[in-house]
């Protein structure tokens, strides 16, 4: 529960700050995804490294974060993509593979 709350807080804060900086939609999505994904693999490596902690139990929170982060960010991407294409479908317009709008 705490791990999910941490991820949602990171996503919300990064989205809010990128909106305050007036970035466009593509940059905002990139910032949100990067903030959500940052340091998960590094935390697992440090926690399980024999040179630093050498304790597998310390890697459990990082592993849980990594798993939940993938789920939360996949949902975020699905929601963002749905919003992006909804107005086009109402006009019977669809983006092709190159992103160009066709009828």
pLDDT digits (tens, 9 = 90+) for 30-63: 898 888 787 677 777 887 788 877 777 888 888 8
Look at residue 68 and tell me whether its pLDDT is greater than 80. yes
Number of domain units in the chain: 1
Whether 101 maps to a domain, the answer reads no
Please say if the pLDDT value at position 102 is more than 70. Answer: no
Would 46 be classed as within a structural domain? yes
Domain membership of residue 30 (yes or no) is yes
Determine phi and psi for 101, rounding to 5 degrees.
-85, 130
Are 68 and 74 in contact by the 8 Å Cβ rule? The answer is no
Picking from 40, 43, 42, 37, the residue whose alpha carbon sits closest to that of residue 14 is 37
Does the pTM of the predicted model rise above 0.85? no
Whether pLDDT at 97 is above 60 = yes
Task: Give the pLDDT of residue 18.
Answer: 93
Task: Express as a percent the part of the chain with pLDDT over 90.
Answer: 13
Ramachandran region, residue 101 (left: φ > 0; alpha: ψ -120 to 50; beta: rest): beta
Residue 38 domain boundaries: 2-86
């Amino acid at each position: 529960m705490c791990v999910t709350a941490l991820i949602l807080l990171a996503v919300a804060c990064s989205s809010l700050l990128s909106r305050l900086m007036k970035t466009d939609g593509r940059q905002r999505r990139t910032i949100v995804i990067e903030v959500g994904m940052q340091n998960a693999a590094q935390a697992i490596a440090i926690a399980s490294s024999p040179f630093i902690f050498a304790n597998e139990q310390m890697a459990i929170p990082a592993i849980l974060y990594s798993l939940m982060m993938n789920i939360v960010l996949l949902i975020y991407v699905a929601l963002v993509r749905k919003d992006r294409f909804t107005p086009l479908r109402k006009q019977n317009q669809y983006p092709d593979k190159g992103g160009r709008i066709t009828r």
